[in-house]
Amino acid sequence: MYFIANWKMHGNTKDIERSNSILKLSKLKKYKNHKIIYCPPYTLLKDFYNKVKKSRISIGAQNCHANSDFGPFTGSINSKLIKSTGAKYVIIGHSDNRNQGDNDKNINNKIKSALNENLKVIFCVGEKLNEKKKNLTYSILKKQIVKGLDKINNFENIIIAYEPVWSIGTGLVPKSSELKKNINSIKKILSLLRKSKKINILYGGSVSPDNAKDLLEMVNINGFLVGGASLNAKKFIDIIKKSIN
C-alpha cells in the first residue's frame, strides 16, 4: 500500500517536524512493507529528505518541468534538480497543474523526463464534474492515459493516481459503484495498452480517516494520494492505521 502526502503549496521548514510521529509509525513491523511518501513544496525537498533519509519514508516533488536539460526556464525545476535533492518520486498531471496549462502532450514529456532521471512517477488522471455529468469519464481517462503514456515502455516506475477532480478538496468521494467502474476502466485501458502488469493504482480525492477504510472496501486499490488531510499528522496517521489491519 502507498500513502502519499501531497502538501501542495503549504509548509515551512518547521512543519517537517510533523513527520515525527509518522517516522515512528513507519518503524513498526506492521507498517514496514508499506510506502509512505511525502511530497512537500520544492523548497522543503532537501530538508525533508535529510530528515527521513535513514527511514523507510521517501520524498517526492509535486511537479517538474518537461525539459530534462538545464536552460532558461525561470522559476522552473526539472527532474535532474529534483533528483539532486534526494527525492525519489514526482507527481505529474495533477489537476491543479492541468488547470494551469498542463496538457496531455506536456505531461507525457514530463513523465519521460522524470523516468530518464530514474524518478518514480505518480501520474494523476481524473474527470471533471461536467465530464462526469456528460458520461465522459471513460473517454477522458482513456485520453489522459493513452496520451500521457505515449511511447513509454518502462512502466515499472509509474503509479497511477485516480483523482476525480470534483472530489479534490471538496469532501465528496465517489459512490462505490462509480469508483469500481472507474478503477476497472483504468485497468481496462492499461490492458488495452498491454501495460497493465506492474502498475499500481491509487485513489485520491478527499480521503480522510473517516472514509479510508470504506474506500478500500469498495475497490481493489494500492493506496491513497492524500492532500488536505496529510497536512495534519494525526489525520494522516489515522488514514494509514485505518487502512492497514
Is 28 or 169 the residue whose CB approaches ligand PEP more closely? 169
Q: Which is nearer to ligand PEP, 25 or 226 (CB)?
A: 226
Pick from 102, 104, 127, 163 the residue near ligand PEP by CB under 6 A.
163
- Between the CA atoms of 128, 190, 3 and 98, what dihedral angle is there, to the nearest 10 degrees? -30
Measured CA to CA in angstroms, residue 105 lies from 76, 102, 127, 146, 209 at distances of 18, 8, 17, 10, 36
By the rule CB under 6 A, 169 interacts with ligand PEP: yes
Give the residue with the Cβ less far from ligand PEP, 204 or 209.
204
The answer to whether 10 is a known catalytic residue is: no
Contact flag: residue 206 with ligand PEP (CB under 6 A): yes
Q: Is 228 in the site for ligand PEP (CB under 6 A)?
A: yes
Q: State the nearest-atom distance from the C-beta of 61 to ligand PEP, in Å.
A: 14
Binders of ligand PEP among residues 1 to 20 (CB under 6 A) are 6
**Residue 168 binds to ligand PEP (criterion: CB under 6 A):** yes
d(CA 174, CA 192): 25
| Interacting residue ranges for ligand PEP, rule: CB under 6 A | 6, 163, 168-169, 204-207, 225-229
Active-site amino acid positions: 94, 163
